[in-house]
């Protein structure tokens, strides 16, 4: 499902070279829930961004669903992300000028799904997360927990085979954070989604089937 072989990622300034990913190899099986832990600056989010095709790598190989995505064009990356990947970010990344339901419907529009169908799908996902009464509200009118649930509804509406979650509970209170973890767990067990989650939280990491740790750009099982 997800395979990385000998992956390197470097960042440069005029005087300094920083290796963010140092010979990282990783395999995540279909339907697995993997937690990546480690201190800030250890390379966790860099690794997630590489898997999610948001950033390129300098050396190595990345395969998703048996297809090599190393070095593919930006257009192909965009198409692949749209068709196969879902994201849950700590910062929610909702579009402020769109209503809740419009935010959830947006990626479905990019997939070419008609208005009637994408409205029905969005309403169904919002109902699952007890957000139907908020469908016409805007992100600024929601709490942090509600915004995160909208972001998850947007992700789940596309039924992605792979979900990448970057500190999904980082900005939430304990109760709301647990709700988010329960939703991810359900996506993994009931919908067979493969999940890779970056987290500082031991509690969040305990929800995963397997944990790995990043230390100074290296992956430790």
CATH code of the domain containing 88: 3.40.50.300
pLDDT digits (tens, 9 = 90+) for 46-81: 999 999 999 999 999 999 988 899 989 999 998 899
What's the pLDDT score for residue 77? 92
Over pLDDT 90: what percentage of the chain?
68
Lowest-confidence segment of 131-135, 150-154, 187-191, 205-209 by average pLDDT: 187-191
- Written in H, E and C, the secondary structure of the chain is CEEEEEEEEEEECCCCEEEEEEEEEEEECCCCEEEEECCCCCCHHHHHHHHCCCCCCCEEEEEECCEECCCCCHHHHHHHHHHHEEEEECCCCCCCCCCHHHHHHHHHHHCCCCHHHHHHHHHHHHHHCCCHHHCCCCHHHCCHHHHHHHHHHHHHHCCCCEEEEECCCCCCCHHHHHHHHHHHHHHHHHCCCEEEEECCCHHHHCCCCEEEEEECCEEEC
State the chain's maximal CA–CA distance in angstroms.
55
Average of per-residue pLDDT across 178-193: 88
Number of domains in the chain: 1
What is this structure's pTM? 0.89
pLDDT digits (tens, 9 = 90+) for 94-124: 999 999 999 999 999 988 899 999 999 999 9
Q: What is the Cα–Cα distance from 85 to 161, expressed in whole angstroms? A: 6
What's the pLDDT score for residue 8? 97
pLDDT digits (tens, 9 = 90+) for 207-220: 999 999 999 999 98
In this structure, what token pair is assigned to residue 76?
Answer: 């192909």
Closest CA to 166 of 32, 38, 7, 2: 38
pLDDT digits (tens, 9 = 90+) for 123-143: 999 998 889 999 999 999 999
> How confident is residue 205, by pLDDT bands cut at 50, 70 and 90?
very high
Q: How far is CA 214 from CA 1, 23, 167, 211, in A?
A: 21, 12, 14, 10
> How confident is residue 183, by pLDDT bands cut at 50, 70 and 90?
confident
Which domain covers residue 206, as residue numbers? 2-220
Q: What is the Cα–Cα distance from 120 to 104, expressed in whole angstroms? A: 11
Is the confidence at residue 91, as pLDDT, over 90?
no
């Amino acid at each position: 499902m997800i395979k990385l072989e000998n992956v390197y990622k470097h960042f440069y300034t005029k005087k300094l070279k920083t290796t963010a990913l140092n010979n990282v190899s990783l395999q995540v099986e279909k339907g697995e829930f993997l937690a990546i832990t480690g201190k800030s600056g250890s390379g966790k989010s860099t690794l997630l961004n590489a898997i999610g095709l948001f950033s390129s790598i300098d050396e190595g190989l990345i395969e998703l669903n048996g297809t090599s995505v190393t070095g593919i064009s930006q257009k192909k990356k965009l198409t692949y992300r749209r068709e196969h990947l879902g994201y849950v970010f700590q910062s929610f990344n909702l579009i402020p000028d769109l209503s809740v339901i419009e935010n959830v419907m947006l990626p479905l529009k990019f997939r070419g799904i008609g208005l009637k169908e994408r409205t029905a799908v969005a309403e169904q996902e919002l109902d699952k997360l007890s957000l139907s009464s908020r469908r016409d509200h805007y992100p600024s009118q929601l709490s942090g927990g509600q915004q995160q649930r909208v972001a998850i509804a947007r992700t789940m509406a596309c039924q992605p085979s792979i979900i990448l979650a970057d500190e999904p509970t980082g900005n939430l209170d304990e109760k709301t954070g647990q709700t988010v973890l329960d939703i991810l767990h359900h996506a993994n067990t009931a919908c067979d989604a493969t999940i890779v989650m970056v987290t500082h939280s031991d509690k969040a990491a305990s929800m995963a089937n397997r944990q790995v740790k990043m230390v100074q750009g290296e992956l430790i099982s």
